Structure formats: C-alpha cells, structure tokens
Amino acid sequence: MTEPTKRPRGRPPKNKDTSSQVKVDSTVASPEVKSESISHIDASQWINVLSGLGTSRDKTVYTTFGSARILDPVELTQLYLAEGLAYRIVRALPEDATREWIYITDKSHEDIIMDDMLRLQVEDMFTEAGSSARLQGGSIIIMGIMDGRKMDQPVNESAIRDIAYLRVVDSSCIDISASVFDENMESPTFGKLLKYKVRQTLNNKTYDTMIHYSRVLEFKSPPVPSQIYSGVTQNMKYWGMPVLQSVYNTLSAHGSILQNVSNILYEFNSGTYKLTNLGQLLAAGNESLLYKRMQAIQAGTSTLNARILDKDEVYQKDYTSLASLDQLIGVYMLELCAVANMPMVRLFGKSPSGFSSGEYDVKNYYDSVEVYQRNRVAPALRYLLKILALKHKIKGRIGFEFNSLYQLNETEKVEIKKIEAEALFYEAQAYEKYMENGVRDPAAVAKEKGWEDEYVDIEPTNVTDPPPST
C-alpha cells in the first residue's frame, strides 16, 4: 500500500504554477500566456491572463509608493510665511480651540483665577503654543514661577508666590541632543525630557538655558508611526509630526494647479499669422526678413489690437478653452480639505458646491476641535491651574470646561425657546393637578420653585358676621 503524498510544511511558493490559480481553455491558442511570468504578482488579487489584468502586462501592479520627503524646520517656516493656505492650516485648529475659551466651574474662585489668566494672556499663549507645535512638531510654554529656585530646579510647590510670565518656545529652539531624558525604564516618565536645553537668539546673541520640566507646559503633535524610518529626525521622534508634513503633497499639487492656471490666463489668447512665401524665406535663410516683418506687424498694432497686413497675409486669433477648469480646481480644493481635516468654509472661506450647505462638515470639524482641546490643550491648562491654585492656597483642583464652539442660528434659538416654554407649561399643569387633588401644598410648591414672593395665601375679606340666633 502506497503512502499518500503529504503537503510539505510551510507556505507554498507564490505563483509557481499559474494553472493552480487560473484555468485557461486549452482550445484557446495563447503563446503569450505560456511565456509570461507573473511571479511578482500577489496571488490575493484578481488575475485574468487573457486581458492582462493582474499580470506583468497590467500597469497598475508596478505602482508603488516612494520614500517620504521629510520637511526640515527651515522649509516648514518658509511654507508658513509664504503660503497662505499653509498658514491657515497651521493656525485654524489652535485658534478655534481657544476662540470661546473656558469657564471656571468653581464660582467662588472664578474671579481671582480669571484675573491671573488675563494678566498672563493665557488664551493667546495657548494659541501661539498650539500653532508652533503644529508647525514645527512641538513647543513649550515656559512659566516664570517665582518660588525662590532656579529654572533648572524642580518647582517648590509650597513656596510659589506668583507666575511672572508665560513664554512660548517652539521645538526648533530646543536642543534635544543636549537635553536630559529620563532613561529609567521603570519610571512613569521614561523617554520624557526632564530638562530642556532652550536656545534663543536676541540681538544676534544666543542664550542657552536649562529648564526643568516642572516649569514647562508641553505641546506635542501626533507621534510618528515608525521610529526606525531613516528620514525621521530625533526632534520628530520626540515631538511628533508637523501638520504640513502630511499635507505637503496635496498642498503642492493645489499650488501647482493654480500656477498653471495663471500661465493659461497669460496665454489665454494667442494669434496665428499666415504669411506668403514663408517656406521660401526660411529655405533661403532669410530669417531676418521674417523677424523684420513680424516687428513691423507688431509696431503697426493699434490700441484696439488692429493689425496692418498685406492682402495675402492672414491673422487668426486663437483662444484657450477654460471649460471645466473650475471643476478641476474644486477637486483639488476638496482633496486639500480632506487631508487637512478642515471644512471648505473654514479653509477657503466658501461653502461647498452642490446640495450640501457645509453645516454638517462644520459640526464634524468642531468634534475634531473638541478632541484637540481634550488631548492637547486640557492637560497643559490643568497643570497651569494647579500652579495658580498653589499660589492662592486653594485646596483641591480648579475645575473648568470649554465653552461650546457651535453658535445657534435664529431658527434654532426660537425652537429651543418653544420647547422650553412647552416644558414649563406641562410642568405647571402637573403642579396644578397635584394641588387641586391635595397631593401638594401650594405654599410648599411656591417655596420649592422660588415663587415665595409671588405666592399669596388669599384670605377672605369683608366677611359679614352671621345673623344672631333667635
């Protein structure tokens, strides 16, 4: 008895036998199929050897993604300074996150905390720090905490007298290689900076300062997905990816389209001259005569674009077609909105074409702003409020909430007032039934609803004495 053939262990080699993947009718003569090699084709895709789909004759199988081009701080700054859309992409999210700002939930401490925040210009500092982080990948706000210690020492929380200033520094001014990292793998702050080497320039002078992390509010960008990519710098590994890095290709394509449109407009109308004996002039080497004739025609052109020509010469004006050009630009605008995660009305200042008004796009964008507030703004703001609480000897944490970004239109305001009025009406009817049936006491209801001043216990007046009994 022969032993059955067993399949060898491991994965079978890819595409060694095309007959196991595709069955071809033997009656069809296809010499190209026999000689064709598709060993580089993934077996998980659709393949048709007759049409060439999925084989080496399919152009799409050779499409691969090239290496990413990493933008350096200088090029990021140039984009920010010279490209208006790049400027708006960088600043829109931080500006919207701080536009309506916050309110302090503890009303007993609201005034003193808000006074300090106004003095330190916290709202503006957070906007600039967020914009710097999105531009360069990261930033910090240096807090001038007055506690009797130097900047490179931890904050003495029991001796905080005040915060003198807040100062924004972007990651391009922080020397990562000279900063101090926490290299203890068992530490909860492993991989974080314990001391920042800040380098700033003023009046052509460079100032280097070591600053302890307890005196810093840190802002980062989304982390780089791969730490082993050769193009990723140490700065990007720590701070994260600048927002212009991921939108650069689409932003470049959009800018190229607009530049090409400008060139098309320059050449919107052009002319064609038909001259007699042109071939003979060129064959005889009399190009100079042709140039003189063209100069004479140009010199004879009037302000009305009229031209003086010979009877056998013809001038024809040609126009470049601009049909569907606005639709082509609109496609690139939508693509840029998608990669920048911004609605059309926020990035370009116009509503999208079609049946959509863009209202739902704005609501979705506000959801993204709330995520940014929760993940990027709130941690830094929470630590700043902790320092202010220690300054004022406030026990416990100072609570805060972000004000809503969404503004109601007039129709929505009227609808809300209508719903609230109906709710009060039905509530009043319920209380009226309770009091009529003796379930609730009118005086108790008035006290519960805060209507004591309006409630009057009606007593009978002008009551006549009953007639004497006989």
Cα–Cα–Cα angle for 367, 375, 170, nearest 5°?
A: 115
CA–CA gap between residue 447 and residue 455 (Å, rounded): 9
Q: Which of 48-62, 109-123, 175-189, 363-377 bottoms out in mean pLDDT, i.e. has the lowest?
A: 48-62
CA–CA gap between residue 377 and residue 130 (Å, rounded): 8
> Which uninterrupted H or E stretch holds 162?
strand 162-170
For the chain, the domains span 32-64, 73-243, 410-449
State both tokens at 427. 């509530």
CA–CA gap between residue 183 and residue 195 (Å, rounded): 12
Contact assessment for residue 68 and residue 248, using Cβ atoms and an 8 Å cutoff: no
Q: Does the pLDDT value for residue 309 go beyond 70?
A: no
Q: What is the pLDDT of residues 347-381, one digit of tens each?
A: 998 877 655 666 788 888 999 999 999 999 999 99
pLDDT at residue 36 in the model: 43
Q: Which of 87-101, 161-175, 399-413, 448-462 bottoms out in mean pLDDT, i.e. has the lowest?
A: 448-462
Q: Which of 197-201, 221-225, 321-325 bottoms out in mean pLDDT, i.e. has the lowest?
A: 321-325
pLDDT at residue 464 in the model: 65
Contact assessment for residue 373 and residue 402, using Cβ atoms and an 8 Å cutoff: yes
CA–CA gap between residue 356 and residue 4 (Å, rounded): 66
State both tokens at 217. 């509010």
pLDDT at residue 32 in the model: 44
Average pLDDT over residues 71-83: 94
Backbone angles phi, psi at 219, to 5 degrees: -125, 125
Contact assessment for residue 174 and residue 233, using Cβ atoms and an 8 Å cutoff: no
State both tokens at 92. 């829109």
CA–CA gap between residue 362 and residue 103 (Å, rounded): 23
DSSP state at residue 267? T
**DSSP string over 41-104:** S-TTS--BTTTTBTSTT-GGGG----PPPPPPHHHHHHHHHH-HHHHHHHHHHHHHHHHS-EEE
Highest mean pLDDT range out of 156-160, 256-260, 276-280? 156-160
pLDDT at residue 359 in the model: 77
Average pLDDT over residues 65-72: 84
State both tokens at 238. 């720590």
pLDDT cut 90: percent of the chain above it: 43
Distance from chain centroid for Cα 57: 40
Q: Does the pLDDT value for residue 49 go beyond 90?
A: no
Count of other CB atoms within 10 angstroms of residue 189: 11
pLDDT at residue 67 in the model: 79
Residues whose CB is less than 8 angstroms from the CB of residue 123 and which lie 6 or more positions away in sequence, other chains included: 98, 101, 117
Mean pLDDT of the chain, nearest integer: 82
Average pLDDT over residues 273-297: 76
- pLDDT band for position 430 (cuts 50, 70, 90): confident
Q: Does the pLDDT value for residue 175 go beyond 80?
A: yes
Q: Does the pLDDT value for residue 17 go beyond 50?
A: no
Average pLDDT over residues 248-262: 88
Cα–Cα–Cα angle for 74, 90, 163, nearest 5°?
A: 90
State both tokens at 434. 């309770």
CA–CA gap between residue 94 and residue 127 (Å, rounded): 5
State both tokens at 53. 């789909």
Average pLDDT over residues 423-442: 83
Average pLDDT over residues 198-213: 91
Count of other CB atoms within 10 angstroms of residue 53: 14
CA–CA gap between residue 70 and residue 85 (Å, rounded): 19
CA–CA gap between residue 284 and residue 286 (Å, rounded): 6
- pLDDT band for position 23 (cuts 50, 70, 90): very low
Contact assessment for residue 135 and residue 170, using Cβ atoms and an 8 Å cutoff: yes
